[in-house]
Amino acid sequence: MSFESIDVFPVTARVNGAGHLSLGGCDVVDLASQFGTPLYVFDENTLRLTCREFVGEFTVRYPDTKTLYASKAYINPALARLIHEEGLGFDVVSGGELAVVTASGIPGGDVYFHGNNKAPQELEMALDVGVGRIVIDNTYELGLLDQLARARGVSQDVLLRVSPGVDPHTHAHTTTGILDSKFGLAVDTGEAERAVLDAIAAPNLNVVGLHFHLGSPIFELEPYSIAIDAVLTFARRLAPKGLELREFSPGGGFAIGYMRDRLPPAIGAYADVITSTLKQRTADLGIEDPTLVIEPGRSVVGRAGVALYTVGAIKDIPSVRKYVSLDGGMGDNIRPALYDSQYEAAAANRMLEPAAETVTLAGKYCESGDVLVRDVDLPRLSQGDLVAIPAAGAYAPAMASNYNLNPRPAVVLVKDGEARLIRRRETYQDLVLADVLE
Ligand SMILES: *Cc1c(COP(=O)(O)O)cnc(C)c1O
């Protein structure tokens, strides 16, 4: 197996003399024996390089760009600090994410708070920590936030999230900017216009600009330019009514390579289309250049993370299918079951051996839908072999559950041959921590 510069594995992935996969200079066979499996391995170099690439590719074209990491893709304190060191702010979608980000030492001002149904307590919490922006999703939230801010005698900086009615051609479950979506204020129905005017009139809200997010992962560039055009045109129409577009956010949604035969555009290509459309359309419409706010999530952590599993039971159904069961599955990565997501897989302790058969990698959960990878060509596996699934950093550990009461996996960060545990494996004790017996 070869590792090209654009690949689905982290940039430090190598095959060592023993034929083992190594990540960040660490042999994954050693990682598995030290930390156990299933294990999520994050490569620090890939993570830092990706952060720098986002900041660099956007600011070189449009200096007034703020990059926020969309925490829901996966966050923990060690990763939060690392990403903040690279100059990114944070987008959070819950009180929980806000709590973890601020407990990691990130100033509230570097945080944007999103969500289509923020609870009153979550909005209070956001006001308490002084988040940089609250991104208002709907008219209920608009009135509620204005009231809460008034009760404290403060004025909160806000963006309004609009739904521009643009389809980014990704999975229906991850499409968010079309008319029939629970997210955002629809431009097409007049709802967005009314909300902008209400927000401008609200005494304790300070409207800083507009936001949209189309969905994810978006492999095409055109939806961004169509939506930017639509939202800027909308902003121009509302300028005489008092809308000042000081900030403008086209959200995130940038794709990553899950499969070698379907690689995404480079980050620079997304930066090109977004910044050129923004510059051209603001000039055409006579809008002053706003601060551009981008919110990559998946594309920051996705490639940096690799999931490691150990092979257990193998069931061969002659001329039907061979199931190779792994010690993890939908409890640590629900994406294949939820979105029909596809992944590559490698025999991590036998990287130099050619593929010998086509197998289906199943998980250990009591669901027939618990399949991680269908029909993948691998060397003939046996018990104790290690399987690596690349591009697993985003929306896998973040969506992990205790289904079947399996403890959630450990997470390590690797760099220069050193592995640092950044989340310990859960124990059976953890499983009853919140339960009350009497
Ligand atoms: C989920 C989300 C993102 C990030 O999406 P990715 O596909 O992970 O880049 C950005 N902005 C908002 C508002 C989101 O909800």
pLDDT tens over the chain, length 438 residues: 445 545 899 999 999 999 999 999 999 999 999 999 999 999 999 999 999 999 999 999 999 999 999 999 999 999 999 999 999 999 999 999 999 999 999 999 999 999 999 999 999 999 999 999 999 999 999 999 999 999 999 999 999 999 999 988 888 888 888 888 999 999 999 999 999 999 999 999 999 999 999 999 999 999 999 999 999 999 999 999 999 999 999 999 999 999 999 999 999 999 999 999 999 999 999 999 999 999 999 999 999 999 999 999 999 999 999 999 999 999 999 999 999 999 999 999 999 999 999 999 999 999 999 999 999 999 999 999 999 999 999 999 999 999 999 999 999 999 999 999 999 999 999 999 999 998
pLDDT of residue 1: 47
**CB burial class (10 A; 0-12, 13-18, 19+) of residue 321?**
middle
Query: What is the number of the ligand 1 atom nearest to the C-alpha of 218?
Result: 7
Consecutive H or E run containing 122: helix 120-129
What is the Cα–Cα distance from 22 to 35, expressed in whole angstroms? Answer: 15
How far is Cα 84 from Cα 231, in angstroms, rounded to an integer? 29
User: Could you tell me the sign of the dihedral formed by the alpha carbons of 60, 61, 62, 68, in that order?
Assistant: negative
Give the burial string for 1-39 (b: 16+ CB within 10 Å, else e): beeeeebbbbbbbebeeeebbbbbbbbbbebbeebebbb
| Cα–Cα distances in angstroms (integers) from residue 159 to residues 133, 211, 248, 332, in the given order | 7, 6, 8, 34
- Comparing CA positions, the residue from 341, 306, 398 lying closest to residue 93 is 398
Q: How far apart are the C-alpha atoms of 58 and 319, rounded to whole Å?
A: 51
Cis peptide before 217 (omega within 30 of 0): yes
CA distances in angstroms from 189 to 164, 200, 220, 260, listed in the order given = 10, 19, 26, 41
Q: Which residue has the tokens 């577009």?
A: 245
Rounded to whole angstroms, the Cα distance separating 82 from 213 reads 25
Q: Which residue's CA lies nearest to atom 3 of ligand 1?
A: 252
Q: Tell which atom from ligand 1 comes closest to the C-alpha of 254.
A: 9
Contact 175 CB / ligand 1 (< 6 Å) = no
Burial class (CB in 10 A: 0-12, 13-18, 19+), 240: exposed
Contact between 211 and 159 (Cβ < 8 Å): yes
Rounded Cα–Cα distance for residues 223 and 206 (Å): 29
Residue 298 C-alpha to ligand 1 middle, in angstroms? 8
72: Cβ below 6 Å to ligand 1?
Answer: yes
Does the beta carbon of 73 sit less than 6 angstroms from any atom of ligand 1? Answer: yes
User: What pLDDT sits at residue 6?
Assistant: 56
Helix (H) or strand (E) run with residue 312 in it:
strand 305-317
Is 89 touching ligand 1 by the criterion CB < 6 Å? no
Ligand 1 atom with the shortest distance to the CA of 295: 10
* Number of residues assigned to the chain: 438
Query: For residue 162, how far is its CA from the centre of ligand 1 (angstroms)?
Result: 14
Instruction: Establish whether residue 177 lines the binding site of ligand 1, counting it when its CB lies within 6 angstroms of any ligand atom.
Output: no
Instruction: Check if 97 has its Cβ closer than 6 Å to any atom of ligand 1.
Output: no
Contact 124, 148 (CB under 8 A): yes
Decide: 114 in ligand 1 pocket, CB within 6 A: yes
> 251 CB less than 6 Å from ligand 1?
yes
Going from the Cα of 69 to the center of ligand 1, the distance in angstroms, rounded, reads 9
d(CA 191, CA 184): 10
In the reported structure, the alpha carbon of residue 33 is separated from the centroid of ligand 1 by a whole-number distance in angstroms of 35
For ligand 1, whether the C-beta of 254 sits within 6 Å is yes
What pLDDT is attached to residue 7? 86
Query: For a substitution probing ligand 1, which of 53, 88, 92, 114 has the most ligand atoms within 8 Å of its CB?
Result: 114
For the Cβ of 213 lying below 6 angstroms from any atom of ligand 1, the answer is yes
Of 239, 231, 114, 281, give the one whose Cα is nearest residue 183: 114
This prediction's pTM: 0.97
Choose which residue among 54, 66, 69, 72 to substitute to test ligand 1 binding: the one with the highest number of ligand atoms within 8 A of its C-beta: 72
Rounded CA gap, 109 and 53, in Å?
23
Q: In angstroms, what is the span from residue 93 Cα to ligand 1's centroid?
A: 9
Cβ(298) to ligand 1 under 6 A?
Answer: yes
| Distance (Å, whole) CA 83 – CA 89 | 8
Catalytic residues: 366
Structural domains in the chain? 14-36+306-432 (2.40.37.10), 45-301 (3.20.20.10)
Looking at residue 5, its pLDDT comes to 46
Report the 10 Å Cβ neighbour count for 226: 18
Nearest to 21 by CA among 350, 345, 355: 350
| 27 CA distance to ligand 1 middle (Å) | 33
Q: In ligand 1, which atom is closest to the CA atom of 73?
A: 8
Nearest CA to ligand 1 atom 11: 251
Which atom of ligand 1 lies closest to the CA of 255? 7
Which string of DSSP letters, residue by residue, matches 158-171?
Answer: EEEEEE------S-
Check: CB of residue 372 under 8 Å from CB of residue 332.
no
